[in-house]
């Protein structure tokens, strides 16, 4: 009788413990789902890119710079429904950003443009890194989107400066002056044995 009573008490305690564990698990799952929902909502609200040209130069460049056009087109399509869709989109954006560095048009193949593209790529890859973490830092993701927009604007403004500068006519004699200032065309500073000297100058034997 005592044995049966002990077994009954043990079973009651075991069932009660399992029930409590199930309740705790349900509460934790609910909290986790709510947290993910908040993260998704914050990222969805902050996922706003400057996907249109900000000046006539970048707008005109879209016709010839295919990689820039594809990059902006990728930014324009906003993911929906799941965080996985945002993760896939960030990876696609990263690939399109890296292509900018490989196929830069000749007129923009300059250090000031290359440096801006490099910075833009770094920001895009950071976005891709943050959004693929197990515990997604939604505030960092939103902040990085703002940083990408800033770098993209900086790139387009620099493109405009280069284009406007190329329109300024070169004044007469300026091209010759630029050639003279070109260090690659400078005459090497080496002793010249053929320099004429005064024949009356005493020579050291």
The whole-angstrom separation of Cα 60 and Cα 7 is 83
Q: For the segment 64-82, what is each residue's pLDDT rounded down to a tens digit?
A: 899 999 999 999 999 988 9
Torsion over CA: 136, 140, 142, 144 (sign) = negative
Contacts of 4 (CB under 8 A, 6+ apart): none
Q: Are 83 and 43 in contact (CB under 8 A)?
A: yes
Contacts of 9 (CB under 8 A, 6+ apart): none
- pLDDT of amino acid 129: 96
The 8 Å CB, 24+ separation contacts for 30-38 are 36/83, 38/138
Q: Which of 3-7, 47-51, 65-69, 135-139 has the lowest mean pLDDT?
A: 3-7
Q: Is the pTM of this model over 0.85?
A: no
Q: Which of 42-51, 106-115, 119-128, 196-205 has the lowest mean pLDDT?
A: 196-205
Examine the pLDDT at 97 and tell me if it is beyond 70.
Answer: yes
pLDDT cut 90: percent of the chain above it: 44
Q: Are 146 and 191 in contact (CB under 8 A)?
A: no
Q: For the chain, what are the domain ranges? A: 32-165
Examine the pLDDT at 3 and tell me if it is beyond 90.
Answer: no
Per-residue confidence at 176, pLDDT binned at 50, 70, 90?
Answer: low
- pLDDT of amino acid 190: 52
């Amino acid at each position: 009788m005592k044995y049966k009573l002990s077994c009954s008490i043990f079973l009651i305690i075991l069932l009660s413990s399992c029930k409590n564990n199930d309740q705790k698990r349900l509460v934790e799952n609910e909290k986790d789902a709510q947290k993910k929902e908040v993260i998704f909502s914050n990222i969805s609200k902050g996922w706003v890119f400057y996907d249109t040209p900000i000046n006539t130069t970048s707008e005109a460049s879209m016709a010839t710079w295919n990689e820039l056009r594809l990059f902006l087109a990728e930014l324009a399509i906003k993911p929906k429904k799941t965080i996985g869709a945002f993760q896939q989109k960030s990876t696609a954006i990263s690939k399109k950003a890296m292509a900018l560095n490989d196929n830069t048009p000749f007129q923009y193949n300059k250090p000031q443009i290359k440096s801006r593209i490099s910075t833009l790529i770094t920001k895009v890859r950071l976005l891709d890194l943050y959004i693929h973490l197990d515990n997604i830092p939604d505030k960092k993701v939103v902040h990085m989107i703002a940083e990408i927009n800033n770098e993209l604007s900086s790139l387009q403004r620099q493109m405009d400066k280069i284009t406007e500068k190329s329109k300024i006519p070169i004044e007469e004699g300026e091209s010759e002056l630029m050639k003279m200032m070109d260090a690659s065309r400078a005459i090497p500073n080496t002793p010249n044995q053929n320099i004429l000297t005064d024949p009356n100058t005493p020579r050291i034997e």
